[in-house]
Amino acid sequence: MVVVPMLEPAHTRHALDLACRLAAERGARVLVVAPLFVEWELPLDAHFHAEEDALRAELARERAVAESYGISAHGKLVRARHGQLGRAVADVAEDVRASLIVVGAGVDSQRGFRRPFSRDVWSVLNDAPCPVLIDTGAPRAHARAVA
């Protein structure tokens, strides 16, 4: 099982493409994880019906992309606080016995080499129960424009 958390849409799509190619080569499945970020002042189980519906629709689109590679794909919605996505992703990865987590993340050069990724990406790296592959590649549309 390969787990792909949804972060920035363009980078997530690129990471999902990579995860699907890896899964197809190895006969693995893909689980796309959609985080619902809950503000600190609210309880983690607060009602967010509209946001959940939007995330479920996005999960359905990402699952369809994954299934176009001929692999089995599933989606899961998780709740997390900003900067603590890693624990939620780690719990999901442990539950499904994931062999790999693929995260799509752009490098923010303004943060320097010490912290080139967002807090959420770092939290996934810190809490992951299995190897994590960070896909920093440019989204395809950008890559074509540059080429």
CATH assignment of the domain containing 136: 3.40.50.620
Number of H helices, E strands in the chain: 5, 5
pLDDT, tens digit only, all 147 positions of the chain: 999 999 888 888 899 999 999 999 999 999 999 999 999 899 988 999 999 999 999 999 999 999 999 999 999 999 998 888 999 999 999 999 999 999 998 776 655 566 678 888 888 989 999 999 999 876 445 444 444
Whether pTM > 0.75 for this model: the answer is yes
Q: Extract the tokens encoding 137.
A: 């590649």
| Letter string b/e over residues 18-47, b meaning 16 or more CB atoms within 10 A of that residue's CB | bbbebbeeeebbbbbbbbbebeeeeeeeee
> Residues near 122 by Cβ (< 8 Å), separated by ≥ 6?
86, 115
Is the Cβ–Cβ distance between 6 and 57 less than 8 Å? no
Is the Cβ–Cβ distance between 99 and 1 less than 8 Å? yes
Give me the pLDDT at residue 50, please.
94
The residue segments making up the domain with residue 8 are: 2-146
Strands of the 30-37 sheet, one edge to the other: 73-80, 30-37, 2-5, 100-104, 132-135
* Coil/strand/helix, residue 67: helix
Q: How many domains does the chain have?
A: 1
